[in-house]
Homo-oligomer: A and B are copies of this chain.
Amino acid sequence: MSTKKLRIIPLGGMGEVGRNMTVLEYDQNILVVDCGLMFPENDMLGVDIVIPNTAYLVEHKDWLRGFVITHGHEDHIGALPYVLPQVSAPIYATRLTRGLIEVKLKDHKLLEKVELHTVQPGEKVALGPFNVEFFRVSHSIPDAVGIAVDTPVGLVVHTGEYKFDYTPVHGSPTDVQRLASYGARGVLALLSDSTNAERPGSTPSERVVSESFDFVFSQAKGRVIVSTFASNISRIQQVIDSAVKQGRRVGVVGRSMVDNVRMAADLGYLNIPPGVLLPVNELEKLLLHQVTIVCTGTQGEPTSALVRMANQEHRQVNIMAGDTVVLSATPIPGNEELVARTLNNLFRLGAKVFYHRLLPVHVSGHASQEEQKLMITLTRPKFFVPIQGEYRHLVLHSELAQQLGIPAENVFVIENGQVLELDENSGTIIRDGVPGGYVFVDGLGVGDVGAVVLRDRHHLSQDGFLIAIVALNRETGELAVDPELISRGFVYVRDAEELLAQARQQVVKALEKQASAAHSFGFEERIKEVLTEFLYQQTKRRPMILPVVMQV
């Protein structure tokens, strides 16, 4: 038994959606589980993606023994291209997950620089003091695993993302035998998926979706267009299966989806009878009822294939009356408006549309409350740490654990950047642990957009700006030319000539009052004050006001 402590440090996925990353640390050894991205919330203006804060990892580069990846969704692998250039370590993943990582690394020209290892469920890997065993879980993507990590302090089980789907589309169900055996051996800590902690009962099997697809395909008289996530290989298989039953061919639209389908087919994760998969341009030669199209766009993303099709802006396929369109996903919180807009546009074009409110064309990939209870009951952990969920999900999940008899002092709700220190008997949370905040990626910039830039973007988005340029003669201190006002996003400039002329007068007046000072010191403050007050009084708006005083 060890006198040193095991440290569990979430750098993502705790108290928020996505960006999953959990650090296990023992005696200057670090194991990282997952490395995902998060899609920006609506008020993270101009941000492309959000990744975990790796300051702590960078600081302790030498301690890093490896990355272990539970499955191939973006929120578990998407930050790898941004994190790997900062800290390097071997990556361990199952075959399909590795395939998806490779597609991504190739895109970023990083594939040659990274050490990748393929693992199988049941396989064990020793990484420093950590003995990692992978176990099968069912999720909405094939080849998902959880991990059981033997540490000097005890056995830690990290579920990855799972549900107890007894009839999954691909492979075997979640390995209840293995989980029970961990419980029999004794689990120090269970880190378990909290996403659906609000949902009573059990999550339906993926098979429900197949039944819906069969219904949709059987009633469709024209083309069937199914949108899903590019990484949702199981869902793509289900589309292919239903298409084949109805004698349809399948075309894949969109580069990310084409890449993933090719890779998954090569690796044997997609079962496609010969002749079924066709290039999109060859679909045009078929009758409409022979055509199936798979594409992205379930979240109403403006650049996705489905949205461009719905806006009649797609290069190859545009929606027309008689098409049947399926959105095989639920909106991620924050995307509801974009999804609603896409649905409305599809209806306007006369498509027959199926989505989650009308038919179970999607089921969640996450365990609901009864399954969460089963996970705890199988593994019988001493300590319980809810992971992967917004803060309220973590709390609700921790309440479930307590209902099952785990004492409150053994249940730890921690957030990103906090550190949980465990020994065999007890745990302590260090609230002010390590940097865990958001890191924004915007264009080429990783981490350079922060609170100040976002606050300015927010201000500009609400009321625009007005810049007052004043050129003073450097000898006389008098106006060299009339002040110039530049404004965007505040008022429609062409219709606001009088307002702007009056504002210019205000600037001139403000200068006259201070002209005696013969210096521009204080001019900028004075101009800003006068314009702010004048414009608010006239419009009840508060544009960003920037005075520029130049000596010429």
A-side residues, CB < 8 A to B, are 15, 41-43, 45-46, 198-199, 333-334, 336-337, 340, 343-344, 346-348, 353, 357-358, 390-392, 395, 442-445, 448-450, 452-453, 456-465, 467, 469, 471, 480-481, 484, 486, 488-492, 495-496, 538-541, 544, 546, 548, 550-552
Task: Out of B347, B442, B443, B551, name the residue touching A391 (CB < 8 Å).
Answer: B347
30 A–B pairs (Cβ distance < 8 Å), ordered by A: A41-B337, A42-B42, A45-B461, A46-B463, A198-B357, A334-B336, A334-B337, A336-B336, A344-B390, A346-B392, A443-B540, A445-B539, A448-B492, A449-B491, A450-B492, A452-B492, A453-B491, A456-B488, A457-B461, A457-B464, A457-B489, A458-B461, A460-B464, A467-B486, A469-B548, A471-B550, A481-B551, A481-B552, A486-B546, A488-B544
Give the top 3 A-B pairs by smallest Cβ distance, nearest first. Answer: A443-B540, A461-B461, A460-B460
Within 8 Å by CB of A481, from B42, B544, B550, lies B550
Contact A15 B464 (CB under 8 A): no
Interface residues of A, dominant DSSP: mixed
Report the nearest B residue to A451, measured CB to CB: B492
The quantity of this chain's copies bound in the complex is 2
Q: Across the interface, name the chain B residue whose C-beta is closest to A346.
A: B392
**Which residues of chain B have C-beta atoms less than 8 A from A453's C-beta?**
464, 489-492
The complex places the Cα of A140 from the Cα of B262 at a distance, in Å, of 53
- The reply to whether A460 and B444 contact each other, CB–CB distance below 8 Å, is no
List 20 other contacts, CB 8 Å, given A444-B540, A453-B492: A15-B344, A46-B461, A46-B489, A344-B390, A347-B395, A443-B540, A443-B541, A448-B491, A448-B495, A453-B489, A453-B491, A456-B464, A457-B489, A460-B461, A460-B465, A467-B486, A471-B552, A481-B550, A481-B552, A488-B546
- How many angstroms from the CA of A463 to the CA of B538 in the assembled complex? 28
Residues A550 and B392 in contact in the complex (CB < 8 Å), given A15-B344, A340-B333, A456-B488: no
Interfacial chain B residues near A457, Cβ < 8 Å: 460-462, 464, 489
